Structure 1
Amino acid sequence: MAPLLHALPQGMIVTETGIPWGVKQIGAPETWSRTTGHRVKVGIIDTGVDFSHPDLRHSLEPGINLLDRSQMPYDDNGHGTHIAGTIAAANQLHGVIGVAPRARIYPIKAFDHQGSAFVSDIILGIEWCVYNKMDVVNMSFGMHTKNQSLLRAVNNAHRSGVLIVASSGNDGKIGHIDYPARYSKTIAVGATNRVGKVASFTNRSRLIDVFAPGERIVSTWPRGKHREMSGTSMATSHVTGAIALLLAIRPKLTPAQIKACIQKSAVPLRNSKALQSVGELNVARMLKVVERK
């Protein structure tokens, strides 16, 4: 079993609604007059999603439940619902708003109620995303060991034009990040806090492609609730949402072009001399880079 490692335990239930700080931090609202991620297909390989959540129900497609093909990919853990909200929540009056509120979310349930999965189900999830022509896939989980079959699935998705975004891990390690973020054909994401510094819990190395907000992130939670959580999982969902905004206006960009654009447009990190080549996600700058091409 591959544990879903990247949500720090015991998130605090909160009632704050509106545009979460992380969505503001990456500059997403400044770009909504140009793009909202309209109809970009986002696969989320996770624990499923709460289909009845008022912030999500207008953004959701059926997806697939790999643990029980006869059932919808309902979320019995909460992690997948939280990820989906950061990417594409769209409840302006009473709930939270995600980075790309008009993107289409396809939940792929590969993780059980405890947040564990077989690697074989993760691979099936990636294959489902390729077959069903997802534009971008969020993989907010990690493993400490390399798996050749998973590597082949990631590389095949990349060749097929399906970009995978993965989280670096929450062990606070320096010089090491988890798989599959460690694979070169993914976008590897680390977490920052409110003041733009690297979060203490995030794994970090030169293999990270971009950092994004991941500390005390408010998003959707099962049974119509909201919850605050921290982790590189949360950072990853910000990057996935940003890619949806980009693909809505430049749908022919390849995974390699998107990765280069994100890296080039990132804002330098504060007080992080060891990571001078890696920055924090900024959507407005990212769109300017592609508009100059």
Structure 2
Amino acid sequence: MDYSTFLQLLNDEIARGDGSHKKQIIRFAHSRDYRKCMSHFMKLKSSLTMLSAVQPSRIIHAMICPAIPEGKLNKFKNDIFFEEDTRMKVHGTLHKTSVQWDHGIPWGVQQIRAPQTWATTTGHRIKIGVIDTGVDYRHPDLRHSLMRGINLLNRNMLPHDDNGHGTHIAGTIAAANQMKGIIGVAPRALIHPVKAFDHNGSAYVSDIILGIDWCVRNRMNIINMSFGMKSSSKSLLNAVMNAYNAGIVIVASSGNDAKRKSIDYPARYPQTISVGATNRQRRVAKFSNRGSFIDIYAPGDKIVSSWLRGNYNEMSGTSMATSHVSGAIALLLAQNPTLTPGEIKSLLRRSASTIRGRRLHSKAPGEVDALRLLREAKA
């Protein structure tokens, strides 16, 4: 492969672009070609100025760049694969704005019996990458839980939340304000916000991939993915597989379409822990996807958590359920740091409590139970 010619062509086609915001992912057939191309890329990017619009992704040996017309790089068709960069949405819906909250433990955190584990584990120093809309760094309930993250939409800015969804997720996982605010499932876990979603709760697949890349390089223990899309992406699957192989537990929401035989991606990938939502009655929430693709359920209906400008909000969705599961895994990993992602999925399923409306001998997945999870790991 002639890397210089390839990069020159890419530069020229980007310069000729139509000004649209469409993007594409260019994957290399062989990792050695990616590495050699990157070496040329570093040398040439000062002279080929349009290459500044290209973002390398080490985790999947790819380049993310503005979309160029099909066929323009035909001479390299044996060395590279193209994938259109699609969009996806967060999995949560807002119910009430500016909920009044006195202080204490939300019902979902109580229902999964997290407080009964805090005498032995609080998720101390477990690193959780929350790929979402960012987080409110000024929220008093999150002050002790937030660490360095990244803003993939604007690398020069902190991953500040301009939507609210990411702040809500972070609160359920690791809020720690006993006196005046809420307490999350794992109050001493560490949240690393990865802002990939805009103020509308929408993101490109490529930004998710770059977020996973960041989480792997910065050695997260858990990645929380409270979002999804209907179609599969080869590039996203590769990123998820590589993070899984690096020992990172990936927790993903199944979607809010009340489907019985299908769930959204990336939750559908076997390398993730797929999460459905339950309500206060320990039944599957009406909106939640369900069925054989679900690994575990957790509270996701009318969940109060932290919000923008120090406020609180009530939200529903498999997004909210996913944050409960990420918190429970943080409690587990703080006590059992050598567990693999596969072992954790198995422990979650074995220790789950039976959901109401299910036969006792049913093989269907149950609801996460943090106390039983820790006991199962000890056993």
Q: Same fold (TM over 0.5)?
A: yes
Does residue 243 of structure 1 match 2:329? yes
Does residue 77 of structure 1 match 2:157? no
Please tell me the root mean square deviation across aligned C-alpha atoms, in Å.
Answer: 1.2
* CA–CA distance in structure 1, aligned partners of residues 240 and 96 of structure 2: 30
* CA–CA distance in structure 1, aligned partners of residues 313 and 256 of structure 2: 19
Give 1:47's aligned residue: 133
Deviations 1:229-282 (A, max 9, x none): 100000000000000000001011000011100010001111035964210000
User: Which structure 1 residue ranges, 4+ long, deviate > 4 Å from structure 2?
Assistant: none
Give 1:143's aligned residue: 229
Give 1:213's aligned residue: 299
Deviations 1:5-47 (A, max 9, x none): 4112444431123100000000000000000000000000000
Does residue 113 of structure 1 match 2:199? yes
Give % identity: 61
* CA–CA distance in structure 1, aligned partners of residues 97 and 156 of structure 2: 33
Give 1:226's aligned residue: 312
* CA–CA distance in structure 1, aligned partners of residues 93 and 288 of structure 2: 11
* CA–CA distance in structure 1, aligned partners of residues 301 and 239 of structure 2: 30
Does residue 278 of structure 1 match 2:373? no
Bigger Cα Rg: 2
Retained in 2: the 8 A contact 1:37–1:103?
yes
Does residue 29 of structure 1 match 2:115? yes
Retained in 2: the 8 A contact 1:5–1:170?
no
Retained in 2: the 8 A contact 1:190–1:208?
yes
| DSSP-derived class of the 1:212 partner | strand
* CA–CA distance in structure 1, aligned partners of residues 95 and 113 of structure 2: 28
* CA–CA distance in structure 2, aligned partners of residues 108 and 2 of structure 1: 17
Retained in 2: the 8 A contact 1:64–1:109?
yes
Instruction: Name stretches of at least 5 consecutive residues in structure 2 with no aligned partner.
Output: 1-85
Q: State the TM-score, normalizing by the size of structure 2.
A: 0.76
List aligned pairs for 1:13-28, cutoff 5 A.
13-16=98-101, 17-28=103-114
Instruction: Name stretches of at least 5 consecutive residues in structure 1 with no aligned partner.
Output: none
* CA drift at 1:3: 3.1
Retained in 1: the 8 A contact 2:136–2:308?
yes
Give 1:169's aligned residue: 255
- Equivalent residue pairs, number: 292
Does residue 204 of structure 1 match 2:290? yes
Give 2:209's aligned residue: 123
Q: State the TM-score, normalizing by the size of structure 1.
A: 0.98
* CA–CA distance in structure 2, aligned partners of residues 229 and 89 of structure 1: 16
Retained in 1: the 8 A contact 2:95–2:314?
no
Give 1:186's aligned residue: 272
* CA–CA distance in structure 1, aligned partners of residues 293 and 133 of structure 2: 26
Greater RCO, CA 8 A, separation 6+: 1
Retained in 1: the 8 A contact 2:173–2:185?
yes
* CA–CA distance in structure 2, aligned partners of residues 11 and 195 of structure 1: 20
Retained in 2: the 8 A contact 1:268–1:276?
no
* CA–CA distance in structure 2, aligned partners of residues 11 and 116 of structure 1: 21
